[in-house]
Amino acid sequence: MMTKSKSRSWLFVVPYVLLFITFIIIPIVAALYLSLTYFNLVNFPSWLALSNYIRLLTNDPEFMTYVLPNTIKFALIVGPGGYMLGFFLAWSLSQVTPKARTIMAIVIYSPSLTAGVAMAVLWRIIFAGDQSGYLNAFLLNLSLIQEPIQWLQSPEHLMNIMIIVSLWSSMGVGFLAMLAGILNIDQELYEAAYIDGMKSRFQEIFYITIPSMKPQMLFGAVMAIVNTFNVGGIGVALSGTNPTPQYAGQLIVNHIEDYGFIRFEMGYAAAISVVLLVIVYFFSRLSWRLFGERRHSK
C-alpha cells in the first residue's frame, strides 16, 4: 500500500513535466503533423500527406545542391572535429599543474560563452571586407594578399570562416565534462597498468582513460552534436543575409527559417525540421552505440 507521502511525490515533477510537454514534446509532435500539410499561418492546414518530403528530396534544388552538402560538411567538421579537439585539449590540460590548468581551461571555455549569433558583430568587424578590416589589414601588411578580400560575402570563404568561428566557440559544457571526467579517473589504474607493462601515452588513452570515462565521453558527444546544430544560424548572422551569398553558408537551420518565417510555408519548413531532428537523433544514437554502457530503450 502506498503511503500518503509517496502518493504525492509526483507533484514535484508536475511543473517541469508540464513545461517539458508544452514546449518540447508538443512542438516536436506538431512539427511531425505540420510536415504533412500545407500551412501558411492564415488558413487551416490542408493535408498533403508526404508531398512536402517528396518536394524536399526531388524538387528543392537549393536544398540538394547547397543546404544538405553544406550541413553535412559543417556538421562533420564542427561535430566530431570539435569533439575530438575538446577531448584532446581536456586530456592535455589534465597533464599540467592545477593552477595553470584552471587558467587555461577558463580561456578555452570562454569563447563558448559568446554564443555564436550574438557575437557575430565582433566577427563582422574582424572580417570586414575593405582594407581597414582587421584580418585584411593584417594580411596586406604581411603581403600575403594583394587586394582586400570580401571574406563574408564571398562564397569560397564564408563556409571556412563559419567552421573556424564555430570550432572556436565549441569548447563548452561537454569540454568541461570531459576534463572533469579525466581528472576523476583513479590514479591507481594508471599505476597498475604501468606495472603491467603499459608503455605509451597512446595505450594509456585507449586502454585506461577513455574506457574509464565513457559516461562523460557520451555526455560530451551529445553536447557536441547539439551545439553543432544549434550554432547553425551563424552563416546568416555573419553575412547578414538569408539566404547567404550564393547559398554558400546556408545550413539546414537557415533553410527552416527561410521557408518558415520569410516565405511563410510553415508546412514545408516543418518537414525540414523533422529531417533535422532525425539527423540529430541518428548522430546521437551513434554516440550511444560507441560510449553507452547499457542500451536505452528508444
Partner 1 sequence: MRRFQGRKMNPTYFHPGQIKFYLYLIPICLFMGLPIIFIFFHAFKPLDELFAFPPRFFVINPTLINFRNLFERTSVTGIPMSRYLFNSLLASAIMVLLSLLIGSMAAFALSKLKFKFKSLLFEINTIALMFVGIAVMVPRYLVIQNVGLLDSFFAHIVPLLAIPVGLFLLKQFIDQVPDQLIEAARIDGASDLYIYWKVILPLIKPALATVAILAFQTIWNNVETSNLYVNTDSKKTLAFYMATLTTQTGNTVAGQGMAAASSLIIFLPNLILFIIMQSKVMDTMSHSGIK
The residues in 142-171 that bind partner 1, with binding defined as CB under 8 A, are: 168, 171
Q: Which residues contact 218 (CB under 8 A, 6 or more apart)?
A: 287, 288, 290, 291, 292
Q: Which residues pair with 103 in a beta bridge?
A: none
> Nearest distance from residue 160's CB to partner 1, in Å?
15
The least CB distance from residue 131 to partner 1, in Å, is: 7
Q: Which of 44, 98, 144, 147 binds partner 1 (CB under 8 A)?
A: 98
Choose between 31 and 77: whose C-beta lies nearer to partner 1: 31
Q: Which residue has the cell 594509456?
A: 204
Which among 61-69, 142-150, 155-163, 252-260 is the span making contact with partner 1, rule CB under 8 A? 252-260
Task: Report the nearest approach of partner 1 to the CB of residue 188 (Å).
Answer: 11
167-206 positions binding partner 1, by CB under 8 A? 168, 171, 173, 176-177, 179-185, 187, 190-191, 194-195, 201, 204
Choose one: 46-54, 66-74, 151-159, 215-223; the region binding partner 1 (CB under 8 A).
215-223
Given 24, 54, 64, 145, the residue binding partner 1 (CB under 8 A): 24
Instruction: For residue 252, give Cα distances in angstroms to 62, 63, 83, 276.
Output: 11, 8, 21, 7
**Torsion 67-76-214-174 (CA) sign:** negative
Q: Which is nearer to partner 1, 250 or 273 (CB)?
A: 273
Distance CA 63, CA 269 (A): 12
State which amino acid sits at residue 103.
I
Structure-block grid coordinates of residue 220: 560530451
Asked whether the beta carbons of 157 and 163 are under 8 A apart, the reply is: no
Q: Least distance from C-beta 194 to partner 1, angstroms?
A: 5
Check binding of 297 to partner 1 (CB under 8 A).
yes
CA distance 213 to 175: 13
Among 26, 84, 286, 290, binds partner 1 (CB under 8 A): 26
Close Cβ partners of 105 (under 8 Å, ≥ 6 residues apart): 93, 176, 179
- Candidate list 30, 50, 84, 290; residue touching partner 1; CB under 8 A: 30
Q: At its nearest, how many Å lie between partner 1 and the CB of residue 115?
A: 4
Q: Is 290 in the site for partner 1 (CB under 8 A)?
A: no
Nearest distance from C-beta of residue 278 to partner 1, angstroms? 10
Binding mask 31-50 for partner 1 (x = CB under 8 A): x--x----------------
CB of 130 closer than 8 Å to CB of 150: no
* Of positions 63, 219, 248, 250, contacts partner 1 by CB under 8 A: 219
Could you tell me the CA-to-CA distances from 262 to 93, 253, 269 in Å, in that order? 45, 13, 10
Q: Count Cβ atoms within 10 A of the Cβ of residue 242 and give its class: 0-12 exposed, 13-18 middle, 19 or more buried.
A: middle
Does 226 interact with partner 1 (rule: CB under 8 A)? yes
Taking the complex as a whole, the smallest distance from the CB of residue 209 to partner 1 amounts, in Å, to: 8
